[in-house]
Structure 1
Amino acid sequence: MLESIKEVLDDAEDRQLTGHLGVKSWLEDLRNLAYDIEDLLDEFTIESAKSKSKAELGASKARSFLPSCCFGLSPRAWMFDHEMRSKIEKMDNTLQEIIARKDGMSLRENKRKRSAYRQLDKPISTTNLPEPYFVSREDDKREILKLLTGEEDNRTCVDLKVIAVVGMGGVGKTALAQQVYNDARVTDYFDVKAWACISDDFNMLAITKSILQKTNSTLSYEKKDFDWLQDKLKENLSGKKFLVILDDIWNKNPGKWAKFLKPFSSGAKGSKIIVTTRDSHIAKITHAKEYPLKELSQDACMTLLAFYALGVKNFDHHPNLKVLG
């Protein structure tokens, strides 16, 4: 039953981001049930350890030859068994209810990609151009800039550092990366910059080609294979201090990552790659320094809403709309 739910989680997340309150409530109930199941399994683990310990202390050779059915459950064990059966039955009913609600919301299965709902309403690939209004991320921007441009001890400095900006969908990872990418200090510090939007399809050939085009726009790329593109990218980055931003990463295949990153080892010390992702596991795969991005405060969200809804910085002149905001 849980596997059937797992198949629609991406679609549920996408629906939640569009303001679907029913899906949000469903996800919260599912999360609470997951915690209850985890607690139940912990209880079983503890009880199992206790039973094993008692068995090892109290067992005799003669007793060990007799079948366990000759000795019924102790009163304590019977109570535990009864309690667990009751809890499992209650959780099973809750799970059945959650599945019924899932079916009622017509959530789509992932089919090895992100949800079909997302595919139908897929946004245009992000660019490096910054958002028109940037709110409440000054401290985050300062920290990322420090990671990018801070001078490192040569004894500990590696040729390439990867920084993973990790956070839930819609929290502002791309907006922050755009601000950093276009900052004058970054432009002055790095010899070469490139931006690539990755999203669902981790197409190594297309991504490599996109980055190469930004580092050398004079080359002809028609009918060139992946090996040629990687060789040329390695050649173009050789000895240069570069910054590459890979926006919206979903790929979790370590082999693909290792192959994709080969040309970047030719850059100068101080070269950096920033990846933005919802999944902290990707930070581990890329051996990145993880930078978790927290949600905006309510005041910051209100400021953003006022800007996009009304073209102003607050609701001071629209008090009747503030409560709706």
Structure 2
Amino acid sequence: MAMVLDAFASYLVDMLTQAAADEVKTMLGVSGEIDKMGDKLRDLKNFLVDADRRNITEETVQEWVGQLKRAMYEAADILDLCQLKAMKRGSSSVDAGCFNSLLFCMRNPFHAREIGTRIKALNQRLDDIKERSAGFKFIDLGSDGDHSNNTHASRHGNPSRETVGDFDRSAIVGDKIEEDTRALVAQIMQTKKDVNDGIKVVAIVGVGGIGKTTLAQKVFNDEAIQGEFSKKIWLSVNQNFGDVDLLRRAIIEAGGDAQPPESSKTSLHETLKNTLIDQKTFLVMDDVWNHRAWDDMLKLPLLNAAATGSRVLVTTRDEGVARGVKAIWPYHHVDTLAPEDA
């Protein structure tokens, strides 16, 4: 429980920290409320490991953890509600970053009062939860025993979040994902409409947590894909990717020799290019927040070395990223599960 809640809290704090950096926080009477919500969640998450250790035997601690979990869900609901409202109005097409949806809600008088009221009410709940935590005398253990590392991660995003190309087949439900997988595989295998000088880029777009990674994993492991491409690379890009680290991981995933950490970007570009020469390559870039990961890091080695017919699949929350990597239109949008599947 502690690891799950800690990861969820880190995700929420990161999202709220970015939102607070925008002009949203100064609008319509919610000045500082977004900052407060992020700060309170950050403080409370530091108690989760000790709370998890104690809630096995202490019923009151179990209740406290439940309250905190429900508060976290409410914070996530607020962010997702803004995203969905923005998508319905088509504001996801605006190149304003992933938080244009929150900005959209706070600028829109039809939504601002509802969102602002929910944020303030949630802050009051978090105050009550934090006040109650004092009676338990929790020890700040942190998720890995290092409070400084946790603080750094929560303030600067969660760059350690990694996804992999493999997946648990037994966890996949619903006919929709099977249909989506077949459609994407067909689109990727199609020889027409190549862009980016012969390398077709396909994009999966959707809000956080809706299943973009799972769908990409299904495509990556499809028998047709596995048989068609001689080099298959899965890269979890994330928000705070490092240029050198991204290139080193691409080389390793492509079957090349691991490069020392102090390697320059120029030498890594050359190594990746040599690894991909005349190889029909399928590259998945998961959780992309900035199209620079493609334009500045990976595009040239693939263009200059990989065989014709190579493909790139990008998952992102932001249509602006899909446009930035010149993905073919229309982008594939991931929707919610059908009621029977849910």
**What's the TM-score, normalizing by structure 2?**
0.58
Query: Are positions 1:151 and 2:151 aligned together?
Result: no
User: Which among 150, 166, 173 is matched to residue 212 of structure 2?
Assistant: 173
Give 1:189 deviation, angstroms: 0.7
Corresponding position of 1:300: 341
- Describe the SS at the equivalent of 2:341: helix
Secondary structure at 2:191's aligned position in 1? coil
- Residue segments in structure 2 that go unaligned for 5+ positions in a row: 1-25, 46-68, 87-101, 128-151
Contact 1:11 1:114 in 2 (8 A): no
Once the two structures are TM-superposed, the CA of residue 128 in structure 1 deviates from its matched residue by 1.0
1:286 equivalent among 325, 333, 336: 325
* Number of the residue aligned with 1:314: none
Contact 1:249 1:276 in 2 (8 A): yes
Deviation, structure 1 residue 243: 0.4
Change (3 A) 1:8 1:228: farther
Alignment of 1:1-325 (within 5 A): 1-2=26-27, 4=32, 20-23=72-75, 26=78, 37-38=107-108, 97-98=117-118, 100-101=120-121, 103-104=123-124, 116=155, 119=158, 124-133=161-170, 134-136=172-174, 137-152=177-192, 158-218=197-257, 220-221=259-260, 223-251=262-290, 257-260=294-297, 261-266=299-304, 267-289=306-328, 290-301=331-342
- Which one has a bigger Cα radius of gyration? 1
Gaps of 5+ in 1: 41-90, 108-112, 302-325
Q: CA deviation at 1:29?
A: 8.0
User: Number of residue pairs matched?
Assistant: 239
Q: 1:238 to 1:6 in 2, by over 3 A?
A: farther
> What is the aligned-residue identity percentage?
22
1:8/1:162 Cα in 2 relative to 1: closer, same or farther (>3 Å)? Answer: farther
TM-score in terms of structure 1 length: 0.60
After superposition, give the CA deviation of every residue in 1:90-148 in whole Å (9 maximum; x if it has no partner). x99777645533533559xxxxx9965974xx875211112232222111000110111
Distance in 2 between residues matched to 1:29 and 1:192, nearest whole Å: 39
What's the offset of the Cα at 1:181? 1.0
Contact 1:11 1:116 in 2 (8 A): no
**RMSD of aligned alpha carbons:** 4.0
Alpha-carbon distance between aligned partners in 2 of 1:11 and 1:162, rounded to the nearest angstrom: 39
Q: 1:219 deviation in Å?
A: 5.2
